[in-house]
Amino acid sequence: EPEVTQTPSHQVTQMGQEVILRCVPISNHLYFYWYRQILGQKVEFLVSFYNNEISEKSEIFDDQFSVERPDGSNFTLKIRSTKLEDSAMYFCASMDDNQPQHFGDGTRLSIL
Amino acid sequence: DQQVKQNSPSLSVQEGRISILNCDYTNSMFDYFLWYKKYPAEGPTFLISISSIKDKNEDGRFTVFLNKSAKHLSLHIVPSQPGDSAVYFCAASEKGGSEKLVFGKGTKLTVNP
Protein backbone atom coordinates (compact mmCIF):
# COMPACT_ATOMS: atom_id res chain seq x y z
CA GLU A 1 0.00 0.00 0.00
CA PRO A 2 1.38 3.46 -0.87
CA GLU A 3 2.79 5.41 2.06
CA VAL A 4 3.73 8.93 3.00
CA THR A 5 7.47 8.95 3.70
CA GLN A 6 9.18 11.44 5.98
CA THR A 7 12.87 12.09 6.51
CA PRO A 8 14.74 12.32 8.75
CA SER A 9 13.02 10.37 11.51
CA HIS A 10 14.85 12.45 14.12
CA GLN A 11 16.49 15.85 13.71
CA VAL A 12 18.53 17.57 16.40
CA THR A 13 19.30 21.24 15.78
CA GLN A 14 20.75 24.14 17.69
CA MET A 15 18.37 26.98 18.51
CA GLY A 16 18.48 29.66 15.84
CA GLN A 17 19.48 27.27 13.07
CA GLU A 18 17.43 26.54 9.99
CA VAL A 19 15.89 23.11 9.56
CA ILE A 20 14.18 21.45 6.60
CA LEU A 21 11.82 18.55 7.11
CA ARG A 22 11.13 16.42 4.08
CA CYS A 23 8.10 14.46 2.97
CA VAL A 24 7.26 12.36 -0.06
CA PRO A 25 3.47 12.28 -0.29
CA ILE A 26 1.55 9.45 -1.91
CA SER A 27 1.85 9.65 -5.66
CA ASN A 28 -1.11 11.31 -7.39
CA HIS A 29 -2.37 12.90 -4.19
CA LEU A 30 -3.37 16.51 -4.62
CA TYR A 31 -3.62 17.91 -1.11
CA PHE A 32 -0.69 18.18 1.29
CA TYR A 33 -0.53 19.08 4.95
CA TRP A 34 1.86 19.60 7.83
CA TYR A 35 0.80 19.00 11.43
CA ARG A 36 2.79 18.94 14.62
CA GLN A 37 2.39 17.38 18.04
CA ILE A 38 4.20 18.84 21.00
CA LEU A 39 4.84 16.21 23.66
CA GLY A 40 1.68 15.57 25.67
CA GLN A 41 -0.48 17.82 23.50
CA LYS A 42 -2.86 17.47 20.59
CA VAL A 43 -1.91 16.99 16.98
CA GLU A 44 -2.34 20.50 15.57
CA PHE A 45 -2.64 21.77 12.04
CA LEU A 46 0.11 23.95 10.59
CA VAL A 47 -0.52 24.39 6.89
CA SER A 48 -2.30 22.96 3.88
CA PHE A 49 -1.07 23.12 0.29
CA TYR A 50 -2.98 22.58 -2.92
CA ASN A 51 -2.35 23.46 -6.53
CA ASN A 52 1.14 24.72 -5.72
CA GLU A 53 0.07 27.22 -3.14
CA ILE A 54 -0.83 27.46 0.50
CA SER A 55 -4.58 27.02 0.93
CA GLU A 56 -4.72 27.58 4.68
CA LYS A 57 -2.30 28.20 7.52
CA SER A 58 -2.69 28.30 11.27
CA GLU A 59 -1.58 30.99 13.70
CA ILE A 60 1.44 28.84 14.49
CA PHE A 61 2.63 29.06 10.90
CA ASP A 62 4.31 32.44 11.15
CA ASP A 63 7.03 34.02 9.00
CA GLN A 64 9.60 31.57 10.33
CA PHE A 65 7.84 28.73 8.52
CA SER A 66 7.62 28.02 4.82
CA VAL A 67 6.59 25.12 2.62
CA GLU A 68 7.63 24.12 -0.83
CA ARG A 69 6.96 21.45 -3.39
CA PRO A 70 10.20 21.80 -5.33
CA ASP A 71 10.02 18.93 -7.80
CA GLY A 72 6.53 17.46 -7.98
CA SER A 73 7.28 14.65 -5.55
CA ASN A 74 8.77 16.19 -2.41
CA PHE A 75 6.97 18.46 0.02
CA THR A 76 9.16 20.30 2.51
CA LEU A 77 8.67 22.33 5.66
CA LYS A 78 11.36 24.85 6.50
CA ILE A 79 11.80 26.57 9.83
CA ARG A 80 14.16 29.49 9.33
CA SER A 81 15.34 30.22 12.86
CA THR A 82 14.33 27.49 15.26
CA LYS A 83 13.19 28.15 18.81
CA LEU A 84 13.07 25.79 21.77
CA GLU A 85 9.29 25.66 21.51
CA ASP A 86 9.52 24.26 17.96
CA SER A 87 10.53 20.92 19.48
CA ALA A 88 7.78 18.51 18.48
CA MET A 89 6.82 15.64 16.20
CA TYR A 90 6.06 16.95 12.74
CA PHE A 91 3.69 14.93 10.59
CA CYS A 92 3.17 15.26 6.88
CA ALA A 93 -0.12 14.11 5.35
CA SER A 94 -1.50 13.84 1.86
CA MET A 95 -4.91 13.23 0.43
CA ASP A 96 -6.75 12.63 -2.79
CA ASP A 97 -10.29 13.86 -3.51
CA ASN A 98 -12.92 12.15 -1.33
CA GLN A 99 -10.31 10.18 0.59
CA PRO A 100 -9.04 10.50 4.16
CA GLN A 101 -5.71 12.10 4.91
CA HIS A 102 -2.82 9.67 5.11
CA PHE A 103 0.01 10.45 7.50
CA GLY A 104 3.70 9.74 7.53
CA ASP A 105 5.50 8.41 10.59
CA GLY A 106 6.74 11.86 11.50
CA THR A 107 10.01 13.64 12.16
CA ARG A 108 10.95 14.22 15.76
CA LEU A 109 12.52 17.67 15.93
CA SER A 110 14.63 18.43 19.00
CA ILE A 111 15.90 21.98 19.46
CA LEU A 112 18.83 22.39 21.85
CA ASP B 1 -9.55 26.02 21.73
CA GLN B 2 -11.13 22.62 22.30
CA GLN B 3 -13.33 22.09 19.28
CA VAL B 4 -12.85 18.33 19.51
CA LYS B 5 -12.75 16.69 22.92
CA GLN B 6 -11.92 13.21 24.02
CA ASN B 7 -12.58 13.27 27.73
CA SER B 8 -11.18 9.85 28.57
CA PRO B 9 -7.39 9.79 28.39
CA SER B 10 -7.35 6.02 28.80
CA LEU B 11 -9.54 2.95 28.58
CA SER B 12 -8.81 -0.62 29.56
CA VAL B 13 -10.91 -3.59 28.37
CA GLN B 14 -10.65 -7.34 28.30
CA GLU B 15 -9.95 -9.18 25.08
CA GLY B 16 -13.18 -10.19 23.37
CA ARG B 17 -15.25 -7.43 24.99
CA ILE B 18 -16.48 -4.22 23.40
CA SER B 19 -14.39 -1.05 23.47
CA ILE B 20 -16.29 2.23 23.25
CA LEU B 21 -14.33 5.42 22.65
CA ASN B 22 -16.13 8.73 22.81
CA CYS B 23 -15.64 12.12 21.22
CA ASP B 24 -17.51 15.42 21.46
CA TYR B 25 -17.26 18.45 19.21
CA THR B 26 -18.44 22.03 19.39
CA ASN B 27 -18.11 23.36 15.84
CA SER B 28 -21.39 22.99 13.92
CA MET B 29 -19.52 23.44 10.63
CA PHE B 30 -17.80 20.07 10.98
CA ASP B 31 -19.33 17.65 8.49
CA TYR B 32 -16.77 14.87 8.28
CA PHE B 33 -15.39 12.86 11.18
CA LEU B 34 -12.56 10.38 11.32
CA TRP B 35 -10.90 8.03 13.75
CA TYR B 36 -7.18 7.44 13.58
CA LYS B 37 -5.15 4.88 15.46
CA LYS B 38 -1.58 5.57 16.51
CA TYR B 39 1.15 3.26 17.72
CA PRO B 40 4.29 4.67 19.38
CA ALA B 41 6.87 5.98 16.91
CA GLU B 42 4.40 5.81 14.03
CA GLY B 43 2.08 8.32 12.42
CA PRO B 44 -1.70 8.27 12.78
CA THR B 45 -3.28 5.52 10.69
CA PHE B 46 -6.74 6.07 9.28
CA LEU B 47 -9.31 3.70 10.73
CA ILE B 48 -12.83 4.74 9.81
CA SER B 49 -14.79 7.86 8.92
CA ILE B 50 -18.33 9.13 8.80
CA SER B 51 -20.03 11.93 6.95
CA SER B 52 -22.58 14.10 8.73
CA ILE B 53 -25.31 12.81 6.42
CA LYS B 54 -25.01 9.41 8.09
CA ASP B 55 -25.42 8.29 11.67
CA LYS B 56 -23.52 5.02 11.44
CA ASN B 57 -20.68 3.54 9.47
CA GLU B 58 -19.35 0.04 9.90
CA ASP B 59 -16.15 -1.63 8.78
CA GLY B 60 -15.53 -5.09 10.13
CA ARG B 61 -15.03 -4.92 13.87
CA PHE B 62 -15.18 -1.10 13.87
CA THR B 63 -18.36 0.96 13.92
CA VAL B 64 -18.62 4.71 14.25
CA PHE B 65 -21.84 6.33 15.46
CA LEU B 66 -22.65 10.00 14.98
CA ASN B 67 -25.25 11.93 16.98
CA LYS B 68 -25.36 15.37 15.37
CA SER B 69 -27.88 16.86 17.77
CA ALA B 70 -25.63 15.97 20.69
CA LYS B 71 -22.44 16.74 18.72
CA HIS B 72 -21.12 13.39 19.80
CA LEU B 73 -19.51 10.45 18.08
CA SER B 74 -18.28 7.13 19.31
CA LEU B 75 -16.13 4.32 18.02
CA HIS B 76 -17.10 0.76 18.91
CA ILE B 77 -14.62 -2.05 18.55
CA VAL B 78 -16.03 -5.52 18.93
CA PRO B 79 -14.56 -7.93 19.72
CA SER B 80 -11.51 -6.11 21.08
CA GLN B 81 -8.13 -7.70 20.46
CA PRO B 82 -4.74 -7.10 22.13
CA GLY B 83 -3.44 -5.72 18.81
CA ASP B 84 -6.01 -2.93 19.10
CA SER B 85 -4.01 -1.45 21.98
CA ALA B 86 -3.01 2.01 20.75
CA VAL B 87 -3.93 5.67 21.06
CA TYR B 88 -7.13 6.54 19.20
CA PHE B 89 -7.66 10.04 17.89
CA CYS B 90 -10.96 11.53 16.91
CA ALA B 91 -10.68 14.18 14.18
CA ALA B 92 -13.13 16.47 12.44
CA SER B 93 -13.13 18.53 9.30
CA GLU B 94 -15.28 20.95 7.34
CA LYS B 95 -16.22 20.73 3.67
CA GLY B 96 -16.23 16.97 3.41
CA GLY B 97 -12.70 16.41 4.61
CA SER B 98 -10.63 18.55 2.24
CA GLU B 99 -10.06 21.08 4.98
CA LYS B 100 -7.64 20.74 7.87
CA LEU B 101 -8.28 18.10 10.49
CA VAL B 102 -8.96 19.19 14.06
CA PHE B 103 -7.89 16.49 16.48
CA GLY B 104 -8.90 15.47 19.97
CA LYS B 105 -6.23 14.69 22.54
CA GLY B 106 -6.58 10.96 22.09
CA THR B 107 -7.62 7.99 24.19
CA LYS B 108 -5.12 5.29 25.02
CA LEU B 109 -6.82 1.92 24.67
CA THR B 110 -5.35 -1.12 26.38
CA VAL B 111 -6.84 -4.50 25.56
CA ASN B 112 -5.81 -7.08 28.11
CA PRO B 113 -5.45 -10.74 27.07
Question: In Å, how far is B45's CA from the nearest CA of chain A?
Answer: 7
DSSP state of A62: -
**pLDDT per residue as tens digits for the range B7-38:** 999 999 999 999 999 999 999 999 999 999 99
Instruction: Answer yes or no: do A101 and B43 touch at CB < 8 A.
Output: no
Instruction: Answer yes or no: do B43 and A48 touch at CB < 8 A.
Output: no
Mutate to test the interface with B, among A6, A34, A42 (most CBs of B within 10 A): A42
| Cα A38 from Cα A15, distance rounded (Å) | 17
Q: What is the pLDDT of residue B41?
A: 86
Specify the long-range contacts of residues A81-86, CB closer than 8 Å, at least 24 apart: A81/A16, A81/A17, A81/A18, A82/A13, A82/A14, A82/A15, A82/A16, A82/A17, A82/A18, A82/A19, A82/A109, A82/A111, A83/A15, A83/A111, A84/A15, A84/A111, A85/A38, A85/A111, A86/A111
CA-CA-CA-CA torsion for A26, B95, A35, A48, nearest 10 degrees? 70
* Confidence band, pLDDT 50/70/90 cuts, at residue B97: low
The closest CB to that of A100, out of B89, B97, B103, belongs to B97
CA-CA-CA-CA torsion for A56, B52, B56, B35, nearest 10 degrees? 10
Q: Which of these, A84, A68, A60, lies nearest to A21 by C-alpha position?
A: A68
User: Which chain B residues are Cβ-neighbours of A56 within 8 angstroms?
Assistant: 99-100
Q: What is the pLDDT of residue B21?
A: 98
The closest CB to that of B46, out of A100, A104, A106, belongs to A100
Does the pLDDT of residue A72 top 90, yes or no? no
User: Do residues A55 and A49 make contact, with C-beta atoms less than 8 angstroms apart?
Assistant: yes
| Cα B64 from Cα A45, distance rounded (Å) | 23
Mean pLDDT estimate for chain A: 94
Nearest-Cα residue of chain A relative to residue B37: A103
The closest CB to that of B98, out of A31, A41, A105, belongs to A31
Question: In Å, how far is B55's CA from the nearest CA of chain A?
Answer: 18
CA-CA-CA-CA torsion for B100, A95, B33, A38, nearest 10 degrees? -50
| Cα A99 from Cα A96, distance rounded (Å) | 5
User: Which chain B residues are Cβ-neighbours of A58 within 8 angstroms?
Assistant: 100
The closest CB to that of B100, out of A48, A98, A103, belongs to A48
Instruction: Answer yes or no: do B89 and A91 touch at CB < 8 A.
Output: no
**pLDDT per residue as tens digits for the range B36-87:** 999 988 999 999 999 999 999 999 999 999 999 999 999 999 999 999 999 9
